[in-house]
Amino acid sequence: MNIGIVCYPTFGGSGVVATELAKGLANRGHTLHILSYARPARLDSFRTDITYHEVDLSSYPLFEYPPYDLALANMMVNLIQFEKLDILHVHYAIPHATSAYLAKQILNSKASKVPVITTLHGTDITLIGSDPTYKQVVDFSINQSDGVTAVSEYLRDETYRLFDIKKDIKVIPNFIDLDRFKKSKKEHFKRAICPDGEKVVTHVSNFREVKRVPDVIETFSHVLTNGVKAKLLMVGDGPDRSKAELKCRELGMCDHVRFLGKQEQVEEVLSISDLFLIPSGSETFGLAALEAMSCSVPVVSSNIGGLPEVNIHGVTGYLCELGDVQAMGEYSTKILTDEKLHAKMSKAARERAETFEMDAIVTEYEDYYEEIRAQLA
């Protein structure tokens, strides 16, 4: 098949899922076209079977905000016509599903068509998508897609609750490359960070408000207060980084926390980690938790959204009430100080990650493409 994939180019979340899916599909002999406003972070090497198309935003003196959704729709029309796409798969509803609808309408007038699939990822539904500023357009655009998928059961249910969706939403969970995300020996790295054999606690995110990074710092402060010798590695960057840094200063623990910024090889940091923290206030799946688990790292998380579909309480880590940093601190201490428990949870985390193995889930998408194409034939 000739497949068009539209995504955000960002380091985490939907951009990663879309790009890895494109690679997985290309490995099976499909031809892929990726559309975005910048080269996706995970599209890191040249391949003849994946072409990246950068959406060109011509500026014009009248445009304070150049209309990205129109430029994207225009590029979709061109690719569908000239590259003869068999399927257009958009990730994150805003504005991608709307641009796809517009492209379809334009093509109808040219007696040409292509099935459009929208994959819902998270805040396109739970936060910004259901905001009154966008809600009507998002609702309409999802309903106009030929196929709709969501990355967790929680997200599917939320979409039905928040919008008036007439379509079946198929749950296809996020996936993991088990060969890339596995514990590897990085002893030199661990010694450099923890010269006195401290435990390593890690957090990875885009440091947006929903990630509740100050909760990570407070949870870790409980771990230190409980007498555990540990270092906290904060990976990523974003608007709340300075809040987190301030919290470290307030709690007098700057010597125990390292802010590493954005990292391309996050699996290397996970390989030296003993525990992963993800106390998010909203999380439809929690790909970062899955990446940690795949590297055999137990997870302490909030019990919000889709996280319980990934992290199993008492098995792969622990789930806590939102904002309960005391409980998160106690559970973290338990995992870090009980070697047997740590070994058991590390093994269970990896086994759980194996149920989200990439190949099986790429097959689910492939089968879904065929199903939608058959319906429209």
Nearer to ligand GMT, 17 or 233 (CB): 17
Write the DSSP string, 204-238. Answer: ES---GGG-HHHHHHHHHHHHHTT--EEEEEE---
Name 259's bridge partners: 234
Can you tell me which of 33, 89, 121, 199 binds ligand GMT, judged by CB under 6 A? 121
Q: Could you tell me which stretch among 96-104, 116-124, 197-205, 227-235 binds ligand GMT (CB under 6 A)? A: 116-124
Minimum CB distance to ligand GMT smaller for 301 or for 332: 301
Look at residue 78 and give its three-state secondary structure: helix
Q: Measuring CA to CA, how many Å separate 324 from each of 120, 215, 221, 280, 360?
A: 29, 8, 13, 11, 36
Residue in 3, 6, 17, 116 binding ligand GMT, rule: CB under 6 A: 17
Q: Between residue 267 and residue 286, which ones bind ligand GMT under the rule CB under 6 A?
A: 282-286
The nearer residue to ligand GMT, 269 or 287, going by C-beta atoms, is: 287
Does 149 bind ligand GMT (CB under 6 A)? Our answer is no
- Dist. CA 232–CA 200, nearest whole Å: 6
Residue 356 interacts with ligand GMT (CB under 6 A): yes or no: no
| Helix locations, 109-212, DSSP H | 123-126, 135-144, 153-162, 187-193
Question: Which part of the chain contacts ligand GMT (CB under 6 A), choosing from 8-16, 131-139, 326-334, 352-360?
Answer: 8-16
Six-digit token pair at 162?
């928040």
One-letter amino acid of 48: T
Residue keyed to tokens 């599209």: 43
Q: Comparing C-alpha atoms, which of 331, 288, 334 is closest to residue 307?
A: 288
Binding mask 47-66 for ligand GMT (x = CB under 6 A): --------------------
Shortest Cβ 260–ligand GMT spacing (Å) = 19
Contact between 3 and ligand GMT (CB under 6 A)? no
**C-beta of 320: minimal distance to ligand GMT in Å?**
17
Integer Rg of the chain from CA:
21
The residue range among 45-53, 73-81, 117-125, 180-188 that interacts with ligand GMT, by the rule CB under 6 A, is: 117-125
Nearer to ligand GMT, 10 or 81 (CB): 10
Residues 6+ apart with CB under 8 A from 20: 42, 175, 177, 358
* CB nearer ligand GMT, residue 119 or residue 273: 119
Contact letters (x/-) for ligand GMT, 158-187, by CB under 6 A? ----------------x-------------
Instruction: Return the amino acid letter for 242.
Output: S
Q: How many residues sit in the footprint of ligand GMT (CB under 6 A)?
A: 22
Using the rule CB under 6 A, which residue among 287, 292, 299, 325 binds ligand GMT?
A: 287
Cα(92)–Cα(106) distance, integer angstroms: 21
Q: Could you tell me whether strands 169-171 and 147-150 are parallel, antiparallel, or unpaired per DSSP bridges?
A: parallel
State residue 284 phi and psi, 5-degree precision: -80, -20
End-to-end CA distance of the chain: 15
Residues 92-111 that bind ligand GMT (CB under 6 A): 92
List the interface residues with ligand GMT, window 291-320 (CB under 6 A).
none
**Does 9 engage in binding with ligand GMT (CB under 6 A)?**
no
> Among 39-47, 122-130, 225-233, 348-356, which window interacts with ligand GMT (CB under 6 A)?
122-130
Q: What is the layout of strands, in order, in the sheet containing 169-171? A: 50-54, 31-36, 2-6, 87-91, 116-120, 147-150, 169-171
19 is a site residue for ligand GMT (CB under 6 A)? no
Burial class (CB in 10 A: 0-12, 13-18, 19+), 64: exposed
Which residues lie near ligand GMT (CB under 6 A)?
Answer: 8, 10, 12-15, 17, 92, 121-124, 126, 151, 174, 210, 282-287
